[in-house]
Every structure is written in structure tokens, then in C-alpha cells.
Amino acid sequence: MQNRSIWFWLFLTPVILGLGIVVVIPFIYGFIFSFTDWNGITATKFLGFEHYINLFQEDEFMDSIWFTVKFAVITVILLNFFGLGLALLVTRNIKTNNLLRTVFFMPNLIGGLILGFIWQFIFVSVFDDIGTLFGIENLQGWLSTTGTGFWGLVILTAWQMAGYIMIIYIAYLENIPKDLIEAAKIDGANGFQRFKNITFPLVAPAFTVSMFLTLSMAFKIYDQNLSLTNGGPFNSTQMVAMEIVRTAFSDHQMAYAQAKAVIFFFIVAVIALTQVYYNKKREVEM
Amino acid sequence: MKKNKEKRNLFSIEILGIVLGLLWIAPFYLMLVNAFKTKREIFGGVLGLPESLAFENFVQAFIDLEFLKSLFNSVLITGLSILVIILFSSMAGYALARNKSKLSGIIFFIFVAAMLIPFQSVMIPLVSIFGQANMLNAGGLIFMYLGFGCSLSIFLYHGAMTGVSKTMDEAAIIDGANRFQLFWYIIFPLLKPISVTVGILNVIWIWNDYLLPSLVLSEANATIPLKMFYFFGQYTKQWHLALAGLTIAIIPVIIGYFFAQKQIIKGVSEGAVK
């Protein structure tokens, strides 16, 4: 028994040190210092909820939360629509299905920072040229307004992540028994009926998984935001993640930024836990 | 008659797929085509093909990106991080799966729950702690990647362990092996498929990470994404050079994807569904 617990702890020591020093201790440390005037190195006095009261009255922070929420809602809808659509497409018996999977998935392997720069070129230069060529004014001046910046981020994210969501849907689609579809065909169900009554209910769990992933991902986006719009114009396309980094490392308000980071944690945790709860409830029903 | 209709249907789906596929790679196509143009040509129009191939864009970008150096830094940091994550997470996943005590349940729960914490929530104290310990360097960064990467990896290894029979352990112990021998000679090789998945999931994330290296590394030790950020700032108004740089930065990923696409898609699908 003694022998058993020694190897147990030896096997766990490296990861306990890793998680402890990198995640757990900073998390607790940060939570405590968000109530002080901490400057990143030392704290001199306890301020209670002062930062928390201030941040809820700060327009820039509240705007970034609102912008992020809007962004998350739209991208979750679009990503699931495209993800499922692409998955249905490449699970059909077409010659190019493997090649198409490779193509749709490709943007996920390239970092958000690089993709943001590429799309900056597309929106600013390519859209502008197409707009001039066909006389479409709406295509000009992209990323220079809040609205075009918002949609720019949505398009970039939908394009980048749809292939990832597609992979999840494919995994569930391929588990649907072939004879179920065959039986429905023999019974005379058309394509739409087969989709509505067989395919859709059977991929519903995939929707739960992908909704969890897309929501938490949409809330944590940073690189794409930085390289595509850099938060501009006038910080109007700045998402929460970027807002926290700016407050900390550009404005050097460490404790105040940390208070924002604590709020950010609660938002992300509530979303994730609600999802898990919802997921569990559904599993019981099935 | 019915067969014909089905064939026609499939044909139109194929066409739709090809159109969407082309649309999907259009941004890369536009990047590549314009990377070969001169500044004047881009100004004249981004949609046409280049008149002649301006290879000097790539030469200049290659030099300014210090590409071989940033590639080396990226490979070194990603490689070592993955090695450390696979080594230590597999051991931890094994220990937690085999020791069915209340304590190991709690430890496992803490590792899984830590996945809820977004990076920004620990970022500021993390940088402060590592700064005071003089650990804001490549070594510190690799250790941070172990901390952030081990949760999901342990979760995956723990799940995979249910498929490894306990009789393996017993037989090896009877034969006189100690725990380390048992793990490295018998269990770890059996976990190879899940090691591939863990490796792929972590490579994608670590290779592309920008924010953490930007807080930890100096420009002299920059990885590709970090160097790309500085490079891009330098050439904001010179798309011909910026696009050539982006193209160069993407090439290693495309090569990797070309050789390992099956494993990559399989790994991602396993990681996402579990």
C-alpha cells in the first residue's frame, strides 16, 4: 500500500506542479489582488469592491461585453448552420468528399493572427476593388466602421471555424445506421422527411457539443480581433479578451484589469456550466 | 429512371461542393497571387494575375522575418512542449485511472474543472509571478504550456485507459516489473493512438499561439506568430511584402497538413467528440 502511493504521487508530481503554478495559484492570487491597488508587483491597500463597481460603470468595458455577446450569438448560429451544411455535403457519396474535407478544415490549422492579416487584405483591398468594379458602394471602406468591423470578424470566424464544427457533425452523421435511412427510403420518405425525422434527431447531440465549443470560443477570441481590426475604429470592435489585455499591458492598471478578468471568468464559466447542465438533462431524456 | 435522378442530384451536389471549396480557398489564392506582384501592381488591382513574378518580395520577407530563426524557435518550443505534455499527462492519466480512490477522483476533477478558466483570467498574475522568478523565457514558456495543456490531455488519456485491461498491470508486476517499467514498456505503447491525438491537438494550439509568447518572449527569441506580428506592423502599407511574409509563414503548416491530414482530422474529431 505504501509502495502504491509513492508511485502514484511520482506520476502526478509534474502535472500538479504545472497546473498549480501556471493556473491554480495565479487564479487565486489574481482573485485576491483584484480587491487591492496591486500594480503587478506589490499591493499597498485593500480596496474592496471598488474596481468591480467602477468597471460596471465604464463604457469601454461594457461596450466590449455587449459587442462580444452579439458576436457570440451570431457566430454560434452561423457556425452551426455552415458546419452542419458542409458535413451533410461531404458525407454524400461524391468523388471530391475527402478533398473538400481537407479544404474546409484547412483554416483551422493556421493561427488566428495570420488569418486576420490575410482577411484584412481581403476586406480592405479586394472588397474595395470588387466594389469599384461592380459599382457596389457597400463593399468599400470595410473595417473602417463599427458595422463592417463586426461583420468582418463574423465572416472571418465563420470561415475559419466552420470546418472544425463540420468535423464534429461528420462524426455523428457517420454513426447513423445506414439501414435506417434505407428503410425510410423504401417506405417512401423523401430527402427532406429523412433529414427531419432521422438525421436531425440523431445529430442533435452534436449540436450540444458544437454549441458549447462555439460559444466558449467566441467569448475567448483574441488573435483574430487583434490582427483584423485591432479593436478599431475607436475601440468599437474590441472584444472582452482584448479589452483585458489592453487595460493590463497598455494602461498598466493591473488590479483593475484583473477585476475585469475575474468577471470574464464568471461569464465563461456560467456559459460552460449551463451547457453542461443542459447537456446532462438531455442525455437523461434520450 | 430513379437512378438517373439520383445521379443528377449527386452531380449538382458535387458542383455545389466544388464551388464552396473554391470559395473557401479564395483568401489563400488572393494572398498568393498578390504576394507575387509589385507594390504598383497591387495598387492597380488585386484581382488579376501578376504580370511577372516578383520573387524579391519573398526574399525580403524571408530576411526580415528572420525566417529560419523564427522557424527554429517555433519548432523547438512546440516540440519540447508537446514532448513534456505527452510524457507527463500520460503518466498522470494512467495513475488517476488505476488508483480508484476518493482523492484521485478529486484531483481528476480539479484538472478537468481547470479547463473552464480562460487564459485572460490568469494571465496577469502568471506574468507577474514568472517575471519575479526570472522565468520569462523559453523554458518558462514550455512549463506554462504544460500547465495549460495537461488538463485536456489527462482527460483524454484517462478516457483511453478504460480500454487497457488491468490484467496487463498484474501480469507485469508478477513478472517483477516496477511501476515505471510497467508503464513505459507496456502501457505507454498501448496508448500510442491517443498520444497521436493529444500531440496533434496541442501542436495546433501551441504552434499558432500568439498572446502567451508575446508576453513571455523577447523579439530575439520570437516564434513565427510573434515575429509575424512585428513584421506586419513594419509593412502595414506595403501589401506586397506583408503578403509574401504571410505566405512564407503558412508554408510549414501546409506541408505538415499535406503529410498528416488523415491523422490530423481524425485527432481533431476524437478530441472534439469526447
Instruction: Give the tens place of pLDDT for each residue, A211-236.
Output: 888 888 999 999 999 999 999 899 99
Q: How far apart are CA A96 and CA B101, in angstroms?
A: 51
For the record, the C-alpha cell of B17 comes out as 461542393
Cβ–Cβ under 8 Å, residues B245 and B235: yes
Does the CB of B72 have a partner CB in chain A at under 8 Å?
no
Task: Give the contacts of B4 (CB within 8 A, at least 6 positions apart).
Answer: none
Secondary structure element (H or E) that encloses residue B162, with its range: none
Across the strands, what pairs with A46? Answer: A36
Cα distances (angstroms) measured from residue A166 to each of A194, A198, B43, B235: 20, 19, 37, 35
**SS3 assignment, position A40:** coil
**Per-residue pLDDT at A219:** 93
Helix count and strand count (H, E) for chain B: 14, 0
Q: How far apart are CA B219 and CA B172, in angstroms?
A: 50
Interface probe for A, chosen from B8, B57, B128 (most Cβ of A below 10 Å), is B128
Cβ–Cβ under 8 Å, residues B21 and A99: yes
Of A11, A106, A121, the CB nearest to B95: A11
Q: Cell match 525566417: residue?
A: B67
Task: Give the contacts of B202 (CB within 8 A, at least 6 positions apart).
Answer: B81, B82, B85, B145, B149, B153
Higher-scoring residue by pLDDT: B3, B269:
B269
Q: How far apart are CA B255 and CA B273, in angstroms?
A: 26
Instruction: Give the tens place of pLDDT for each residue, A95-107.
Output: 899 999 999 999 9
Instruction: Give the tens place of pLDDT for each residue, A57-77.
Output: 999 999 999 999 999 999 999
Q: Which residues of chain A make contact with B122, given a CB cutoff of 8 A?
A: 22-23, 26-27, 30, 261
Supply φ then ψ for residue A46, to 5 degrees.
Answer: -85, 125
Interface probe for B, chosen from A34, A42, A91, A109 (most Cβ of B below 10 Å), is A109
Cα distances (angstroms) measured from residue A35 to each of A161, A240, A253, A259, B117: 37, 20, 13, 8, 19
The yes-or-no verdict on residue A286 having pLDDT over 50 is no
Per-residue confidence at A1, pLDDT binned at 50, 70, 90?
Answer: very low
Instruction: Give the tens place of pLDDT for each residue, A77-101.
Output: 999 999 999 999 999 888 899 999 9
Q: How far apart are CA A186 and CA A175, in angstroms?
A: 20
Which DSSP letter does residue A198 get? I
Cα distances (angstroms) measured from residue A28 to each of A24, A35, A111, A124, B269: 6, 12, 30, 43, 34
Instruction: Name the minimum distance, in Å, from the CA of A55 to any CA of chain B.
Output: 15
Residues 180-239 on B with a CB inside 8 Å of A are 180, 183, 204, 207-211, 215, 225, 228-229, 232, 239
Supply φ then ψ for residue A117, to 5 degrees.
Answer: -65, -40
**Per-residue pLDDT at B38:** 93
- Write down how long chain A is: 286
For the record, the C-alpha cell of A7 comes out as 508511485
- pTM of the full structure: 0.94
**SS3 assignment, position B51:** coil
The yes-or-no verdict on residue B157 having pLDDT over 90 is yes
Q: Which residues of chain B make contact with A248, given a CB cutoff of 8 A?
A: 123-124
Cα B184 versus chain centre, distance: 25
Cβ–Cβ under 8 Å, residues B210 and A113: yes
Cβ–Cβ under 8 Å, residues A102 and B21: no
Supply φ then ψ for residue A269, to 5 degrees.
Answer: -65, -40
Does the CB of B144 have a partner CB in chain A at under 8 Å?
yes
The yes-or-no verdict on residue B133 having pLDDT over 60 is yes
How deeply is A15 buried, as exposed, middle or buried, from its count of CB atoms within 10 A (0-12, 13-18, 19+)?
buried
Q: How far apart are CA A112 and CA A73, in angstroms?
A: 20
Flag if B121 and A27 touch (Cβ within 8 Å): yes
Average pLDDT score over residue span B126-142: 96
Instruction: Name the minimum distance, in Å, from the CA of B219 to any CA of chain A.
Output: 17
ipTM of this complex: 0.94
Q: How far apart are CA A173 and CA A118, in angstroms?
A: 33
**Per-residue pLDDT at A181:** 83
Cβ–Cβ under 8 Å, residues B232 and B249: no
Flag if A19 and B256 touch (Cβ within 8 Å): no
Per-residue confidence at B186, pLDDT binned at 50, 70, 90?
Answer: very high
Torsion of CA B48, B49, B51, B55, to 10 degrees: 130
Instruction: Say whether the peptide bond before residue A14 is cis (omega within 30 degrees of 0).
Output: no
Closest CA to A148 of A84, A222, A236, A60: A236
Listing DSSP states for A133-169 in one string gives: HHT-GGGTTTTSSHHHHHHHHHHHHHHHHHHHHHHHH
**SS3 assignment, position A46:** strand
The C-alpha angle A43, A46, A47, rounded to 5 degrees, equals 115
Instruction: Say whether the peptide bond before residue A233 is cis (omega within 30 degrees of 0).
Output: yes
Instruction: Give the tens place of pLDDT for each residue, A173-190.
Output: 988 888 888 888 888 888
Interface contacts (A, B; CB < 8 Å): 260
Cβ–Cβ under 8 Å, residues B17 and A95: no
Task: Give the contacts of A254 (CB within 8 A, at least 6 positions apart).
Answer: A33, A38, A39, A40, A248, B124, B128
Closest CA to B200 of A175, A164, A210: A164
Cα A273 versus chain centre, distance: 16
Q: At what angle do helices B102-113 and B67-98 cross, to 10 degrees?
A: 150
